[in-house]
Structure 1
Amino acid sequence: MDQGDAFYSAQPLVSVVIPAFNASAYIERTLRSAARQTYTALEIIVVNDGSTDDTAQLVEQIAMTDSRIRLVSTPNRGVAAARNTGIDASSGRFVAFLDADDLWHPTKIEKQVNALNRLSPRWAAVYVLHYIIDQDDEIIGLGGSKIARGYIYARHLNFKYIGNGSALLVRRDVAREIGGFDSSYAAAGIGGCEDVDFELRLAARYCMEVVPERLVGYRKYPGNMSSNYTRMAQGLLEVIKRSVAANPQLPRYAARSAIALTQKYAFRQYRKAGNLHLSIVTAWAIFQNPLFMLSFVRQAIRLVAKQRRAPEPGMANGMLNKSKFDEQIILAPVEGPEETLSSRRHLRRLTAVDARMSSIRESDEPVDFPSCEIATRPCDP
């Protein structure tokens, strides 16, 4: 065995799970971005979720050139069930999820494994930031810039740090322990936010790490799942409702703010969908919460003003000149807009909530959540 073989065998295996439904337009580019990772100890599992196009044939052709790629085909059951099939078929120490139309920077997995390997098992996952890309792989916007590490359940419930289904690498045994992805959302016709549900169940029990670099190209285009604004809004509202109900030890302030912030997101989505009825119903619900009513009014005014402004030529979302998402992109962290005093105060309160929840086991306080034992340990490396 030469040095290169010894290095390869020393790397823990990472299972890449790619759910794919009628993904022929992008699956080759997605697989190429997974196969070109600088971290080579990979198995790449494409779960063909009942596609009616030539997705399966394309994957089989590519697999002939890379033995790490294999295809698993199932009837169409939705993205959550497809990811669970991939987890069950995997054998890696870590699992990384990649949607069939997204892209990874070549260093993504290497940086995530290095970050998680130095931490104790109570740290279950690591996420990265992302760019928004179009159908031609061009960067058209920035994902969120807020980051948090450690026990972040209350903060993630409010701010949704991870932002997409292609940003997370998780310990495989933990993914199985928490039950994988919940397919009941798709069965109810509100699929699309199962990744957030999975992340919140993870964050409620374990600590999370972050690599604060934009290493994912998250694709948005007409017709993909995230463009169904009404379904995404209804799905996320249900995710937050279930998460709050499952964690009765969460202080009322954190729960109410999470619901209100999600209602604000839903209002924006319903406006994009042109659904006047749901927009009015959601706005009325927000107005019942005086804590967030004023900020909602301000945001609505800014939204109307933004829609009336034409973007500058050569700019995407008023922020970026278009460029390809590939290995040439400089992926330094990009700061978000300056926070207001009230948002900083809100974040401090939620950080204190997380600190209090993470230390419950060290006190004599009762614990309502049966799986809270791990979550309440201090998150030291």
Structure 2
Amino acid sequence: MRRQRICLLTLDFVGPIRNGGMGTAFLALAETLVAAGHEVTICYPSSYTENEPVTRWRRHYAKRGIDFVSLFLEGGEAELSLGAYHWLKTRDFDAIHFHEMRGIGYWITVAKRCGLAFARTRLVCQIHSPTFWHFAHSAQFITHSGELETDWMERRSAEGADLVTAPSRYILDVAAEMGWKLPSAQVMPNLLPSSFLGRAADPAPRPVEELVFFGRLEERKGLGLFCEAVTRLIRAGQAPARVTFLGKVGHMAGVHALAWIGAAAEAWPMPWTVVNDLDPHQAREYLAEPGRLAVIASRMENAPYVVLECLAAGLPLLAPDVGGIGELVAEADRARLLYPRNPASLAAALGRALTEGAAPGRAAITPEAAGRLWLDWHEALAPLTAPPVLSGQPLVSVCMAAFNRHGPLAHAIASIEAQDYPHLELILVDDASTDPAAQRFHAALAPRFAARGWTLLRNAENSWQGITRHRAAEAARGEFLLFMDDDNAAWPDEVSTFVTAARRSGADILTCQMQSFRGAGPPPRHRSARPIGWIPTGPNSALGVFRNGMGDANMFMRRTAWDRMGGFTLDRAYFEDWEFLQAAALAGLHIECLPEILYCYRIWEGAQTAAHDPDFLYRSYARAMRPALAALPEALRPALRLAVERELAGMQARREAYWQHAPHVTEAQGEVARLPPNSAEAMLAAARLALGQEHRATARLLAAQALRIAPGHPGALDLLSRIPEPPA
């Protein structure tokens, strides 16, 4: 057997997470691989724990031969996945397993596809519980745009893996129905941790007195179905001696599950209780007591461990014949253990168990056979060889527009001169700078550019960025174009990294992460480990309807892509990068966003003044929306506008994004705004506000207007009496 170095990248693992199904699957795989002599590392990016500190679990698993590494990261899916990539790229593993959930493996698949890392590492995605599948069977609506990003990262991480596994054929079919285009996919059974394995069970039926709902107390796990079936039993004169709800307490239709059960069980003649403090081992011991029957009632499942646990421990159970549950049960036992998921069928199955007793069932595959299958699968993975070395160095044209910022421009030019990629040219277009110092700086650049064969151009009049960038692109000779703003600065490997990624992946357009800094001074001397703030993830057109998640105007592309798209549109508004990338994605161009910081992005204090103008900002967002609207039939476009503009209106009300730069409304101004706009009271409140600001003449005029609206208004008369007439 070839000893392999294997990493399991997961946000769910037994220990910090109490009893998650994916965590159990990854623990069981780790134990099986270690027992066979492989070297196993758990990469747990998060700092989250449901019980003891994460450091305790590192010591716990070290004693069992498993290297448990927490990266102690916080943040959303993009941050956690990016942090995992940066840690993993410095290690050397034969294989990295990761689950699709929350897209934790997204960035490592991008990096491998683009030739940045993992050339000799197999990337294996295990599909367990896609977010939108989970939503669909939990009666849960999509509530914010971040969930669109999570869904997309999950899909792309699975599609970008070298191999895909799943514990049921059912969930692979679900992925196909959702439109996921998977590479080589194979059903591989979930394994059981060593602590789950029980003794051989007595196949004889056992008396049943207590019905135990086994699962989280929520609608997705079938709490409503179970309670309805028990109520039917009672009406039929077959009440059990006792009912127990074994699992964490959740919610039912927005109501606390304990309160919901209290209402549902109000007329039950027998006692019921909730047991929500047991770990998996204690739960199995509870179910093993005489007279108890485990009842699973889930709306939908992939390959639930509650079924596997009962089968392995020899515990009697009933489960719905939904999803992948049937694949877990031996064919000969399915008719006895599985029921059609409806209240009448479950009530009938419970009635038979109370009358005739219940016998344990057998698994479709034994734990030993499942373990052997996984080990043989790993053994069959041949070592990967490094990809061939790329030959040639295509010309890259850096296209830069400049206007009145000669200090930052000097840093931008210097960063291009410092590139480690030799075959490039810079085309700089001065957009009719009016500052004499900027004009002198541009004139002084002529001999420097001539010596390098670079191009220096000047517009006859100020033409905004769209026209200026087009002029730079028209003068470019390169196979690839890199657009760069005059106030940003490239790290020395920006061009070489983009060239490698484009040639390895075949991408038409590439974006990347950025390192932001403030002020007019020089850019940072040291590169950040990870970006702070905005993390674009790539060509997610669904997310792109609501916000730019694709990248900045500092983008790299093939000349053919620029020509096909016709370049940037020429509106005098923001979001030309957002609009271009969204249009390119919808046109089917291959876009990649790299997980590396390749340039520094300068933030100017007070630079968002144009965003204060409602018309300018409206036109900017309308511009970004155009590609999606154009892609829809005319009849559906108003619906898209409603969805997007409601989101924007909410952001405006919460003062998010560009609206955070809008003028602040004081408490006194807010008092004016709360009154009917054309009322005398509103005019009088505005007069008081002006008087408080020492604008006496304005206050008098406004109070007089209030008096015209409401003749004899006492408040207006009083205010006018306290404001002296201005001198003649």
TM-score (norm 2): 0.33
Alignment of 1:254-265 (within 5 A): 257-265=643-651
Cα separation, 1, equivalents of 2:475 and 2:513:
27
Higher deviation after alignment, 153-162 or 247-256: 247-256
The amino acid across from 2:597 in the alignment is: R
Tell me if the contact between 1:48 and 1:55 (Cα under 8 Å) persists in the aligned partners: no
Are the aligned partners of 2:550 and 2:593 in contact in 1 as well (CA < 8 Å)? no
* Equivalent position of 2:544 in the other structure: 156
- 1:245 deviates by 2.0
Counterparts of 1:81-230 in structure 2, within 5 Å, are 81-120=467-506, 123-135=507-519, 136-137=521-522, 142-148=532-538, 152-166=540-554, 168-183=555-570, 185-186=571-572, 191-205=573-587, 206-222=589-605, 224=607, 226-230=608-612
State the distance in 1 between where 2:390 and 2:628 align: 43
Q: 2:411 aligns with which of 16, 25, 29?
A: 29
The question of whether the paired residues in 1 share the 8 Å contact of 2:419 and 2:491 is answered with yes
Cα RMSD between the aligned structures? 3.1
Spell out, residue by residue over 1:145-201, the C-alpha distance to the aligned partner (whole angstroms, 9 max, x if none). Answer: 2423xx5322333341244322x1011121122121111x21xxxx23222222222
For 1:14, give the aligned amino acid.
Answer: V
From 423, 427, 441, the counterpart of 1:58: 441
* Structure 2: gaps of 5 or more residues: 1-388, 671-728
Q: 1:157 to 1:207 in 2, by over 3 A?
A: farther
* Residue aligned with 2:594, SS: strand
Q: CA deviation at 1:259?
A: 4.1
Q: 2:662 aligns with which of 273, 279, 288?
A: 273
The whole-number CA distance in structure 1 between the counterparts of 2:485 and 2:551 is: 13
1:24 positional shift: 1.3
Contact 2:411/2:523 (<8 A) preserved: no
Q: Flag the 1:213–1:257 CA change in 2: closer, same or farther, 3 A.
A: farther
The answer to whether the Cα contact below 8 Å between 2:512 and 2:536 also exists between their aligned partners in 1 is: no
Q: Which has the higher contact order (CA 8 A, sep 6+)?
A: 1
Residues 12-47 of structure 1, C-alpha deviations (whole Å, 9 max, x = no match): 111111111112121100111122111121110111
Percent identity among equivalent residues? 22
SS for the counterpart of 1:71 is strand
Q: Distance in 2 between matches of 1:98 and 1:59?
A: 17
> Number of aligned pairs?
260
Instruction: Give the secondary-structure state (helix, strand or coil) at the position aligned to 2:512.
Output: strand
In 1, are the aligned partners of 2:400 and 2:485 still within 8 Å (CA)?
yes
Cα distance in structure 2, aligned partners of 1:112 and 1:256: 38
Give the superposition deviation at 1:223. 5.5
CA distance in structure 1 between the partners assigned to 2:532 and 2:593 by the alignment: 17
Q: Aligned AA for 2:601?
A: Y
| Equivalent pair of 1:27/1:55 in contact (CA under 8 Å) | no
Structure 1 window deviating more from structure 2 (262-271 vs 36-45): it is 262-271
Q: 1:263 to 1:57 in 2, by over 3 A?
A: farther
Corresponding residue SS for 2:545: helix
Matched, 1:72 2:460: no
Quick one: structure 1 residues 25 and 110, their matched pair in 2 at CA, closer, same or farther if it must change by over 3 Å?
same
Letter in 1 for 2:562: A
Whether contact under 8 Å (2:488, 2:600) holds in the other structure is: yes
Question: Are 2:624 and 1:240 equivalent residues in the alignment?
Answer: yes
> Structure 1 residues 214, 107: CA separation in 2 closer, same or farther (over 3 Å shift)?
same
Q: Secondary structure at the match of 2:441?
A: helix
Amino acid at match of 1:31: I
Match of 1:358 in 2: none
Specify the alignment match of 2:165 in structure 1: none
**Structure 1 residue 114, shift from structure 2 partner:** 0.6
Change (3 A) 1:159 1:192: closer
Counterpart CA distance in 2 for 1:230 and 1:89 is: 35
Code of the aligned partner of 2:546:
N
Q: Secondary structure at the match of 1:79?
A: helix
Q: Deviations over 1:342-364 (max 9, x none)?
A: xxxxxxxxxxxxxxxxxxxxxxx
Contact 1:131 1:217 in 2 (8 A): yes
C-alpha deviation, 1:244, in angstroms: 2.8
Quote how far apart the aligned CAs of 1:89 are.
0.9
In structure 2, relative to structure 1, the CA distance for the partners of 1:262 and 1:244 (3 Å cut) is farther
Separation in structure 1 between the aligned mates of residue 650 and residue 627 of structure 2, nearest angstrom? 18
Q: Tell whether the 8 Å contact from 1:221 to 1:227 is kept in structure 2 after alignment.
A: no
Query: Contact (CA 8 Å) 2:540, 2:549: kept in 1 or not?
Result: no
After TM superposition, give the deviation of residue 261 of structure 1 in Å: 4.2
The two structures have a TM-score, normalised by structure 1, of 0.61
Q: How many Å separate the matches in 1 of 2:627 and 2:650?
A: 18
- Say whether the 8 Å CA contact 2:575–2:621 is kept in structure 1: no
Amino acid at match of 1:270: W
**Residue 233 of structure 1: how far off its partner (Å):** 3.2
Matched-pair contact (CA < 8 Å) for 1:63–1:69: no
Mapped to 2, the partners of 1:96 and 1:132 lie a distance apart of 19
Equivalents in 1 of 2:650, 2:445: separation in Å?
A: 43
Partner Cα distance (1:15, 1:265) in 2: 38
Residue 106 of structure 1 and its aligned partner are, at CA, apart by 1.0
1:372 — aligned with what? Answer: none
Deviations for 1:321-352, whole angstroms, at most 9, x for unmatched residues? Answer: xxxxxxxxxxxxxxxxxxxxxxxxxxxxxxxx
Give the match's secondary structure for 2:405: coil
Residue 505 of structure 2: SS of its match in structure 1? coil
Rounded Cα–Cα distance in structure 2 between residues aligned with 1:51 and 1:9: 41
Q: 1:89 to 1:104 in 2, by over 3 A?
A: same
Q: CA deviation at 1:255?
A: 6.5
Q: Alpha-carbon deviation of 1:101?
A: 0.6
Task: Quote the offset at 1:204 in angstroms.
Answer: 1.5
- Answer with 1 or 2: which has the greater Rg: 2
Match in the other structure for 2:114: none
Structure 1 gap ranges (5+): 1-6, 281-381
In the other structure, the counterpart of 2:312 is none
Hey, what does 1:333 align to over in structure 2? none
